[in-house]
């Protein structure tokens, strides 16, 4: 009897060489690996920010790119690749022998993605930055938080991962698709500041209007009584997203608060807020979660990260997931994405032999034994 073969992801057969370091690049290539791509991390897998989940399904090699032998080994590997990803400031990869002009000359089909904060040009292109800086320059941060307090800093999801990793992954698969017809690769300038601007497309036109007059005052900014969080009797919270009339009516009637007011009338907002604040504060969070289960009112419990794995919806869709094994996304019916294991074993000899290098060339390409690890430990060690 033949063994059932593991499903092949939609990117099966695609080889990615990943020289990115900080979180957005490794998350981007994790998504590609989950979709079936073969991802080879150059740098031993521990350079940059060491986040184990981002290294799942990847092979890791170590090269000394300060030597001619190391650069030659990288270039030999790239001739076998479909995609190359780096996250250095403009010009750094070229100085390591890994710039687009050099690598595309060796492999014209290569899709080369440079994932950076500010992009390849402009006055900030050479500046350092993090998610907080990119969202500060694109109106994201300036629109968040109560108007009478400092801007509310979000987790680094907007610029790093949505505006960076996801946009880069979309660019990569788009360029791969185009290359099937043209036979040519291309350069992808994926800038987190650009991705953040794109994510603001719905909100920028409303700035200064009655719908978004100031920071924290937008309809979706948490200041309106039908779209915000409320404290419960146990100090935990519920999230209310009753934006549409039908959802608001269900909310009001489920709470038995009497005649349903016009929730889009600004004159009614203080009264609506007072009623909802008083009512939700009368019972613990899980009471409200049970009451609104199955009710189309857009009311859900606010779960702490440690609670999410016990939520019925998460359990039903991702029964095997955990904090160190988030699910592979998205779901594809025939060629599903798979969250594979993380393995930091050094595969340098194996990978370079596949690329055609002999034992002497492989040995010459390795970094010194005492080279150590560069980058940021995550989470960083805190001191008193």
What is the Cα–Cα distance from 300 to 308, expressed in whole angstroms?
12
Mean pLDDT on 12-29: 96
361: part of which helix (H) or strand (E)? Answer: helix 359-365
pLDDT tens string 354-374 = 999 999 999 999 998 766 555
Please give the share of the chain, as a percent, with pLDDT higher than 70. Answer: 95
pLDDT tens string 115-154 = 999 999 999 999 999 999 999 999 999 999 998 999 999 9
What is the Cα–Cα distance from 111 to 277, expressed in whole angstroms?
53
Catalytic residue among 82, 131, 160, 194: 160
Catalytic residue among 64, 130, 287, 346: 130
What is the Cα–Cα distance from 60 to 45, expressed in whole angstroms?
5
pLDDT tens string 267-312 = 999 999 999 999 999 999 999 999 999 999 999 999 999 999 999 9
Residue 8: pLDDT over 90: no
Give the SS3 label for residue 49: strand
131 in active site: no
130 in active site: yes
């Amino acid at each position: 009897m033949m063994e059932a073969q593991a499903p092949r992801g939609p990117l099966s057969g695609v080889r990615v060489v990943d020289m990115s370091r900080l979180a957005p690049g490794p998350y981007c290539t994790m998504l590609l690996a989950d979709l079936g791509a073969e991802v080879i991390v150059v740098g031993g897998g521990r350079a940059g920010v060491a986040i184990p989940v981002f290294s799942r399904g990847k092979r890791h090699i170590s090269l000394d790119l300060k030597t001619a032998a190391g650069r030659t080994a990288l270039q030999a590997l790239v001739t076998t690749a479909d995609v190359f990803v780096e996250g250095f400031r403009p010009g750094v990869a070229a100085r390591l022998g890994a710039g687009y002009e050099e690598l595309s000359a060796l492999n014209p089909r290569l899709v080369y993605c440079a994932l950076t904060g500010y992009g390849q040009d402009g006055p900030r292109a050479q500046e350092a930055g993090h998610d907080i800086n990119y969202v500060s320059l694109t109106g994201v941060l300036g629109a968040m938080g109560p108007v009478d307090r400092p801007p509310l800093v979000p987790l680094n999801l907007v610029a790093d991962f949505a505006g960076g990793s996801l946009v880069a992954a979309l660019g990569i698969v788009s360029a791969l698709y185009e290359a099937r017809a043209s036979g040519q690769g291309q350069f992808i300038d994926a800038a987190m500041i650009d991705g953040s601007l794109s994510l603001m497309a719905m909100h920028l036109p409303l700035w200064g209007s009655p719908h978004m007059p100031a920071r924290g005052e937008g309809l979706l900014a948490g200041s309106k009584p039908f779209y915000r969080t409320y404290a419960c009797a146990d100090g935990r919270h519920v999230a209310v997203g009753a934006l549409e009339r039908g959802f608001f009516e269900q909310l009001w009637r489920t709470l038995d608060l009497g005649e349903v007011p016009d929730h889009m009338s600004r004159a009614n907002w203080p009264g609506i807020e007072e009623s909802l604040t008083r009512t939700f504060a009368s019972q613990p969070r899980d009471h409200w979660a049970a009451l609104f289960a199955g009710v189309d009112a857009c009311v859900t419990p606010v779960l702490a990260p440690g609670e999410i794995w016990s939520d019925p919806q998460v359990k039903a869709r991702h029964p095997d997931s955990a904090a160190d094994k988030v699910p592979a996304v998205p779901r594809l019916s025939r060629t599903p994405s798979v969250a594979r294991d993380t393995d930091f074993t050094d595969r340098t000899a194996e990978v370079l032999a596949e690329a055609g290098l002999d034992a002497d060339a492989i040995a010459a390409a390795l970094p010194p034994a005492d080279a150590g690890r560069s980058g940021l430990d995550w989470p960083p060690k805190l001191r008193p």
